[in-house]
Amino acid sequence: MNTIQEIQTEIIEDFAMFDDWMQKYEYLIDLGKELSPIEEQYKTEDNLIKGCQSRVWLHAEHTKGKIIYTADSDAIMTKGIVAVLINVLSGQSPSEIANAKLDFINKIGLKEQLSPTRANGLVSMIKQMKIYALAFNN
Amino acid sequence: MLDINKIRSQFPILNRKVNGKDLVYFDNGATTQKPQSVIDAEANYYTDENSNVHRGVHFLSGLATDKFEETRDAVQDFIGAKHKHEIIFTKGTTDAINLVANAYRILLSKGDEIIISELEHHSNIVPWQMCCEISGASLKVIPLLDNGELDMNEFNNLLSESTKVVAVSHISNALGTISPIEEIISKAHKIGAKVLIDGAQAASHIALDMQKLNADFYCFSAHKMFGPTGVGVLYGKEEILNKLPPYQGGGEMIKEVSFEKTTYACLPHKFEAGTPNISGVIAFKQAIDFITELGVATIAKYEDELLQYATTEILKIEGVKIYGTAKNKSGIISFNIDGLHPYDIGMIIDKMGVAIRTGHHCAQPIMDRFSIPGTARISLSVYNTKAEVDVCMNAIKKAKLMLS
Ligand SMILES: Cc1ncc(COP(=O)(O)O)c(C=O)c1O
C-alpha cells in the first residue's frame, strides 16, 4: 500500500496531463462511474454529509488497523470527487488519515474548478472522513 | 419593438467573460444585473451627496432626504399606491414579509388560521410558521396541481371564518407560475381576511396597480428588478399599517421617547427604524425609471417570446422534463434531464459561460411535491436574447453528452 503522500503525488501527476477543464471533468465523471457502490443499508440520513448541494453518503469501517471508506452521491461529478478522496484515504490507518495534509486538492485545481458551495461540500467531506479517523483512533 | 442591443449596452457586466466565454446570464430569478444608471447613482451618492436622511438641518442632509423621498414617490407611481406613506422601505422581500408576519404574532391567537401555498419561497413560509408558533394560529397550505398551478378548489375549501391572513406569491420563483391573485384577494376579502402578496418575481414583469388589485400588503425586492441589493418595499394599505404594531424600535421611528412612555412616528417612519440603505434607495429610482421607460408590458411581451422560444428548444433535447407548465407563466424554465443530476448540468454549463441556478430554489416543499431533489432553472430577463438561448441549449447538450 502506498502512503497518502505517494498517492497524492500520483494524482497530481495524473491531473497535470489534462490541458483543459473538459478533460478534467470527464476524468472525474469516469472516476464517479467506477466508484464501487456503497451498500444500500448505509445510505441513511445519518450518513449524509451536510454542506453539499447534492446528496453524499459516506460510510467507514475499521478493519485490521485500516479504515475502509465507501460512499455514493446522486450527482456524478460529486461522486468523482469523493472517489478521488477515497483513493487517497481509504485503506490507511486512522492516525495517518487524521494527520494527513491534503494539499493535492489545490494542486490539481479542484478547488478553483469548483463553485463555492461545492468547495464547501468538499471541506465537509474531508472533515467527515477525518472525524471517522479520530473516532477509530481512540 | 425593443432595441435589445441598446438595452444590453446599458449593462456593463454583460460584456465580461466567464471562464473565457461570453457570459450568458440566465439566473435573473436570483437577481438581475444592474444598468449603468443604477451603478452611477450609487457611486454618485457617496461621491457627492452622502449624508444621513430625515434628521439634519444642513444642505447635504436635505439633498439626501429629497432624493431618498423621490424614490418613494417613484415607487408610489410605479405600483399605483394611493398614498406615498403606504410605501415602506425594507431590506428586501424577506424583510417586508417578516415585518408583517411579526406584527401578526400579536394580532392573531389560537383558532385563527393563515393560508399560504405549496408554491411559496421559504421567505413566505418560515415567517408565518414563526408567527403561528408564537400566536397559536395554525397554518393551512393551498396544494399544487401537477402543472404547477394552485389548486383553487382547495383554496375555496380552506377559506373559512377562521382565516385571518392569506399570503401567496404573485409569481413562483421555482416554477414560473403566475397565480390568480385577483381572485384570491377578492375571495379572501369576502370572509374578512387580509392578503399579503409576495411580488418578488413579479414587480418587473407585471404592471402593478395597488388600488385596482386591492391587496392589503405587497412585497418586492429592488435587486430582482435591476436595482441594488439590500432594498425592498413593503406596500400596505394605510388603515392597516396604522393598526400594526411597530417592527423594530430605534431612531427615526419615534415621535417622543421617555422612559415612561414612547410614542411612535407616523407612517412610513414608524416602520423604518435606523439609518436605511440610503444609496440603495436613491439608486433604486434609476431602476424604476429604466423599467418605466421600456414599459412593463413591453418587457413582459419580449420575455414571453423568449420563454416560448427557450421552451420549444429545450424540449427538443431528449429526456428533458419541465416542471411548471401553467397556462399563465413567467420567464422561468425549471427542468431536469432523465438520469442526470441538475447540479452536474449546472457545473458543466458554467464552464461554457452559462449561469443558471440549480437546487431547490429556496422552495423545498415544491421539490417534495414532485419528489425531486431539485431542478436546473433558467430565468430570463429583458436583456437576454435568442442567440443566448441557443448558446445555453448547446451547452446543455454538451453537458448531457459528457454525463451520459
Ligand atoms: C418568490 C420570492 N419570494 C421571496 C424572495 C426573497 O427575496 P429577498 O431575498 O430579496 O428578500 C425571493 C427571492 O429569491 C423570491 O423569488
Domain ranges (residues) in chain A:
4-136
Residues linked to residue A59 through DSSP beta bridges, in sequence order: A70
> What number is the average pLDDT over the span B44-71?
93
Whether B394 contacts chain A with CB within 8 A: no
Q: Pick the more confident residue, B20 or A117.
A: B20
Q: What is the DSSP letter of A70?
A: E
Closest CA to B28 of B393, B381, B389, B360: B381
Cis ω for the linkage preceding B35 (within 30 of 0): no
CA angle B311, B34, B364 (to 5 degrees): 50
Q: Residue B227: what are its φ and ψ, rounded to 5°?
A: -100, 180
Supply the residues of B annotated as catalytic.
362
Interface mutation vs chain A, best among B18, B336, B340, B341, most A CBs within 10 Å: B341
- Rounded mean pLDDT of B245-252? 89
Contact at 8 Å (CB) between B129 and B364? no
Q: How is residue A50 annotated by DSSP?
A: T
Place of cell 392569506: B166
pLDDT band at A137 (very low <50, low <70, confident <90, very high): confident
Asked if the model's pLDDT at residue A121 lies above 90, the reply is no
- Summarised one tens digit per residue, pLDDT across range B47-59 is 999 999 987 789 9
User: By the CB < 8 Å criterion, does A79 face chain B?
Assistant: no
- Give the model's confidence band at A51: pLDDT under 50 very low, under 70 low, under 90 confident, else very high: low
Please state, in angstroms and rounded to a whole number, the distance separating the CA atoms of residues B178 and B222: 20
Per residue, what are the HEC states of chain B? CCCHHHHHHCCHHHHCEECCEECEECECCCCCCCCHHHHHHHHHHHHHHCCCCCCCCCHHHHHHHHHHHHHHHHHHHHHCCCCHHHEEEECCHHHHHHHHHHHHHHHCCCCCEEEEECCCCHHHCHHHHHHHHHHCCEEEEECECCCCCECHHHHHHHCCCCEEEEEEECECCCCCEECCHHHHHHHHHHCCCEEEEECCCCCCCCCCCHHHHCCCEEEEEHHHHCCCCCCEEEEECHHHHHHCCCCCCCCCCEEECCCCCCEECCCCHHHCCCCCCHHHHHHHHHHHHHHHHHCHHHHHHHHHHHHHHHHHHHHCCCCEEEECCCCCECCEEEEEECCCCHHHHHHHHHCCCEECEEECCCCHHHHHHCCCCCEEEEECCCCCCHHHHHHHHHHHHHHHHHHC
Partners of residue A22 in chain B, C-beta under 8 Å: 351, 402
C-alpha cell of residue B316: 427538443
Model confidence at A104, pLDDT cuts 50, 70, 90, reads confident
Residue A20: which pLDDT band, with cuts at 50, 70 and 90?
Answer: confident
Higher pLDDT, A114 or B2: B2
Question: Which pLDDT value is given to residue B239?
Answer: 96
**What gap in Å lies between CA B313 and CA B307, rounded to an integer?**
10
State how far the Cα of B382 lies from the Cα of B225, in Å rounded to an integer. Answer: 11
Q: Which residues of B touch A76 (CB under 8 A)?
A: 340-341, 344, 403
Segment of A66-70, B252-256, B361-365 carrying the highest mean pLDDT? A66-70
Question: Rounded mean pLDDT of chain B?
Answer: 96
Q: CA A121 to CA B380: how far, in whole Å?
A: 29
Could you tell me the pLDDT band of residue A116, with boundaries at 50, 70 and 90? Answer: low
**Structure-block grid coordinates of residue B394:** 448547446
Q: How many Cα atoms sit within 13 Å of B136 on the Cβ side?
A: 6
This prediction has a pTM of: 0.93
Is the pLDDT at B316 greater than 60? The verdict is yes
Task: State mean pLDDT over B215-238.
Answer: 98
pLDDT higher than threshold 90 for residue A114: no
Q: How far does B349 lie from chain A, in Å, by closest CA?
A: 11
Fold for the domain defined by A4-136: Sufe protein. Chain: A (3.90.1010)
Residue B223 pLDDT: 98
- Residue A82 has which C-alpha cell? 469523493
User: For residue A21, what pLDDT band results from cuts at 50, 70 and 90?
Assistant: confident
> Residue B223 CA: which ligand 1 atom is closest?
10
CA-nearest residue for atom 14, ligand 1, is B30
* Residues B196/B203, Cβ–Cβ less than 8 Å: no
Tell me the chain A residues in contact with residue B373 when contact means C-beta distances shorter than 8 Å.
54-55, 74
Percentage of the residues of chain B whose pLDDT score is greater than 90: 92
User: By the CB < 8 Å criterion, does B350 face chain A?
Assistant: yes
**Mean pLDDT of the region A36-49:** 90
Mean pLDDT over B202-214 rounds to 97
A&B contacts, CB < 8 Å: 39
The alpha carbon of B92 and the centre of ligand 1 are apart by a number of angstroms equal to 8
Any B CB within 8 A of A118 CB = yes
Question: What is the whole-number distance in angstroms between the Cα of residue A137 and the centre of ligand 1?
Answer: 46
Q: Judge whether B211 and B82 are in contact, CB under 8 Å.
A: yes
CA–chain centroid gap for B92, Å, is: 8
B375 touches B366 (CB < 8 A)? no
Question: Which pLDDT band, with edges at 50, 70 and 90, does B1 fall under?
Answer: confident
| The pLDDT value given to residue A50 | 74
B95 alpha carbon to ligand 1 midpoint, in Å? 10
Which helix (H) or strand (E) segment is A93 a member of? none
pLDDT tens for each residue of B341-381: 999 999 999 999 999 999 888 989 999 999 998 999 999 99
Query: Cβ(B211)–Cβ(B192) under 8 Å?
Result: no
Residue B356's identity, in one-letter code, is I
Which residue shows C-alpha cell 467573460?
B17
Which domains can be identified in chain B, with CATH numbers? 4-26+295-403 (3.90.1150.10), 39-292 (3.40.640.10)
Structural Rg of chain A based on CA atoms:
14
